Each structure stands twice: as structure tokens, then as C-alpha cells.
Amino acid sequence: SVSPTATTNYTVIATASSTGCMDTGFVLVTVVASPTATITNNGSNTICTGSSALLTGSGSGNYSWSTGSTGTSITVSQTTAGTYTYSLTVTSAGNISCSDMATYTLTVVTSPAINITASSYTLCAGLASDTLIATTIPGANYVWTPGPQPNNDTIIVSPDPIGPHTYTVSVSNSLGCSGFATVTINVQAGFQTPVVTPNPANYCFGEPVQPFTCTNAAAPVGWLDNLGNVLSSSTTYTPSVTAVN
């Protein structure tokens, strides 16, 4: 048997033992170089769930990936944490097919699941602050929007003006995996101090009293006596006057 490392022409000489006659034969053994398959990754061999990695193959010939692709590169991603192995077989082109296979192992880790809770989801305008608490991940980096806010899982906000206010937090763990969460705080019109205006403020004895007007108050309005009895629900009220001796 022969194991040539390059294309080689072999000669065979046969001699008849009885007559001494000779004959010569030739055989050409063609050696085709086997391809060398390799796989490289454009990033780390550890990725987060939901993210992707680009695996690129090299080697002269036709490509066949374990995913079924026949291109020079594949983009892979996983939604479940674990260890995943991808293989590439490179087969040389031509009448003689030689092949080589390479494998690449990718580790997928879980991205952090984030939630935000608020001490209150509805506030009165200008009267209160709110505490927002995101899921605690030891050693994680917290970026709140709108900012700037402290790099912490807990912040205190005072949303203004009236209307909905949405806060978002991005949390990145030590592996660089990120999770996001949002919360909406609704700011409503708060309590307004009513203003009572007598017109005029002072009267002479016997002079008729003009109506008092209540402004800066949300409906309903209630005029009460000193016993708590409701005298009127209108924004104006004309009080009765008792003479003072």
C-alpha cells in the first residue's frame, strides 16, 4: 500500500518466472488536499437569551452547517439558557470529495427579568413624590429614563404636570445581559383651596348683604353653617346678617 502526500505516478514491472519476459505498467495516484474547516465568532462565546451570534466558517469547498444552512456564515440565537454546539462540514469540490468538520460551542445565559413597582400609581399634582423599585439584581447596573437618576434599583420621583408619566429602567448584569421594564404614574388634579370673596367685606348696619363668591374650587361646593349644616351648593351664597350689640 502507498500513502502519497502529493500526486504521484507509480511504475509496476512484472517479470515471468518461467521465461524471464518483462512488462511494465503505470498508475497515477492523484492526491487532493483536504480542506481545513474552522469556525469563528464575531463576539463572545457567551451570549444572552434573545441576543444572537454570527458564526463564520472558513475552508475551501462546499459548506454544510448543522442548522441546515450552506452559506459561509450563520446567525444563531436561543431563547433558553444552555450550552449549544454547532458544526460545519467543508467538502472539497471536484470529482474527488474530501471533507473536514469543525465544531463551535456557544453558552447562552438568561437575561434578567425586570419589574417595577411603585408606592402609588396615581398621584395628586404637586402634593407627593413616588418611590419606584425595580427588581434587585446584585452587582447590576441600573439606567433610569427619564434621567439623570441614581444607579440604583430604587429611585424617588416627583412627576409633574398633570397627566401620565412613564419611567423605564434598563438593568445590565455582570455578563452584560440586559432586561427592561416600564411603569406609568398618573398625575391628577389635586385638591385646590377655595377662595371666598365677600363683596364688599364690610357693611353698615341695615345695608343689604351682597352674595359671597367661591372661586378656585372644583365642584361640588358646599356652604356650611357652624353646625356643619349645608346651606347651599352654589358657587355664590348670600349669608343672613345678625346685628351685633
Higher pLDDT residue, 25 or 175?
25
Selected residue with higher pLDDT from 143 and 98? 143
The pLDDT of residue 157 is 93
- With a cut of 80, say whether residue 220 has pLDDT above it: no
Please check whether residue 72 is in contact with residue 56, taking contact to mean a CB–CB distance below 8 angstroms.
Answer: yes
Q: What is the pLDDT of residue 219?
A: 61
The winner for highest mean pLDDT among 107-121, 124-138, 192-206 is 107-121
Q: How far apart are CA 74 and CA 219, in angstroms?
A: 66
Residue 181 pLDDT exceeds 90: yes
Q: How far apart are CA 83 and CA 45, in angstroms?
A: 10
Which of 112, 113, 150, 114 has its CA nearest to residue 131? 150
Specify the pLDDT at position 206. Answer: 74
Mean pLDDT of 152-160: 92
Q: What is the pTM of this model?
A: 0.56
